[in-house]
Amino acid sequence: MNVRIISQSEVPRLLPMAECVDLMDEALRTLSRGEAVLPLRSAVWLPDRSGLLGLMPTYLATPPSMGLKVVSVMPGNHGTELDSHQGAILLFEVERGRLLAVIDATSVTRIRTAAASAAATRLLARKDAGDLAILGTGVQASTHLEAMQIVRNLRRVRVWSRSAENARAFAESASRRLGLRIECAADARSAVEGADLICTTTASREPVLRGEWIAAGAHVNAVGASFASGRELDTAAVARARLYVDGRESALHEAGDFLIPRAEGAIGDAHIVGEIGEALLGRAPGRRSDAEITLFKSVGLAVEDLAAAHHIYNRALASGAGASIELGGQRDPSG
């Protein structure tokens, strides 16, 4: 049985951001239509809690496929040559269960996370939104900048990091790559002041965005915190906003940005307006006025990885990308 191996360097060519935005739009709709199986992810922590191995299985009816993302999460890698998230996506076909592909998960996660935010932004942000603030300067900051440029006409971009040196390096690199002028903000508050698009992409476990700073009419994508014990937004920021999530069950178990304000008694489960897929399908209301604040809280879902993997695999077959290896799977005739 031939299995396609697709490396980190090959994924961006096979999964362009603009195409991935539409893929995420459809994957989130499929989830909200009830045409996916999405168990909560499980994790094996190292004894000293320095990192974990995460397991994310899923099934999609459209396109028909099943798969598993296996990823290590090592926060200590921040600032090193290695990404904090490393692993692989295993893509299977549903007819006979054949393993079709093994795809680098680091690059897929970078792209699909920002693409999901872009799908939410395209739906929820004001049509004239274009003053973008990015908190954080890691890989998600970079891909979110690219994704926001696809769905909105950016007229101003500000970036903030706890490290002024990192902010300058990010601004210089991204300006050259995307042809944008990017300002470095001295602090998070000045970065978001008056912004109508805000993306929080940090590794912080404590709030970096406060509700009092957010301008009326802004749309916020919060993607940096994906565990119940950490958050990037303070309670006021979440309470002020109309909250949308990528997956309701995942948010109720894993989204510290929601769970901590709920534990404080500031909000309840009804504060979640709906899954973004429900809003895309018209089953949940979207933005109601130019003045309200909308918030998309993403924890990252395996259906997003699977939809991206299916697309990458088909593109690889068509273009000859990747390496094909004989791995097995056939029944042993002697048995």
Q: Which two tokens stand for residue 180?
A: 């944008």
Alpha-carbon 179 to chain mean position: 24
What pLDDT, on a 0 to 100 scale, did the predictor assign at position 332?
63
Summarised one tens digit per residue, pLDDT across range 164-205 is 999 999 999 999 988 899 999 999 999 999 999 999 999 888
Summarised one tens digit per residue, pLDDT across range 147-167 is 999 999 999 999 999 999 999
* Burial of residue 54, with CB atoms counted within 10 A of its CB: 0-12 exposed, 13-18 middle, 19 or more buried: buried
- CA-to-CA distance for 87 and 54, rounded, in angstroms? 9
What pLDDT, on a 0 to 100 scale, did the predictor assign at position 333?
56
Contact 59, 36 (CB under 8 A): yes
**Is the pLDDT at 327 greater than 90, yes or no?**
no
Summarised one tens digit per residue, pLDDT across range 194-248 is 999 999 999 888 999 999 999 999 999 999 988 899 999 999 999 999 999 999 9
**CATH number belonging to domain 126-297:** 3.40.50.720
Summarised one tens digit per residue, pLDDT across range 283-315 is 999 999 999 999 999 999 999 999 999 999 999
**Is the pLDDT at 81 greater than 90, yes or no?**
no
- CA-to-CA distance for 132 and 232, rounded, in angstroms? 17
CATH class of 2-109+302-326: alpha beta
The closest alpha carbon to 69, from 97, 46, 88, belongs to 88
**Is the pLDDT at 82 greater than 80, yes or no?**
yes
Percentage with pLDDT > 70 across the chain? 99
**Average predicted confidence (pLDDT) for the chain:** 95
Q: Three-state SS for 44? A: strand
What pLDDT, on a 0 to 100 scale, did the predictor assign at position 179?
87
The closest alpha carbon to 20, from 323, 310, 320, belongs to 310
- CA-to-CA distance for 327 and 93, rounded, in angstroms? 15
Q: Three-state SS for 92? A: strand
Q: Which part of the chain has CATH 3.30.1780.10? A: 2-109+302-326
Q: If you search the block for the tokens 């018209």, which residue do you land on?
A: 282
Q: What is the mean pLDDT of residues 61-65?
A: 94
The DSSP bridge pattern shows strands 242-245 and 294-297 to be: parallel
pLDDT tier for residue 80 given thresholds of 50, 70 and 90 = confident
Q: What is the mean pLDDT of residues 25-36?
A: 97
Q: Which part of the chain has CATH 3.40.50.720? A: 126-297
Contact 239, 220 (CB under 8 A): no
Contact 200, 117 (CB under 8 A): no
pLDDT tier for residue 335 given thresholds of 50, 70 and 90 = low
The closest alpha carbon to 93, from 60, 69, 124, belongs to 60
Q: Which two tokens stand for residue 330?
A: 């056939």
pLDDT tier for residue 84 given thresholds of 50, 70 and 90 = confident
What pLDDT, on a 0 to 100 scale, did the predictor assign at position 286?
97
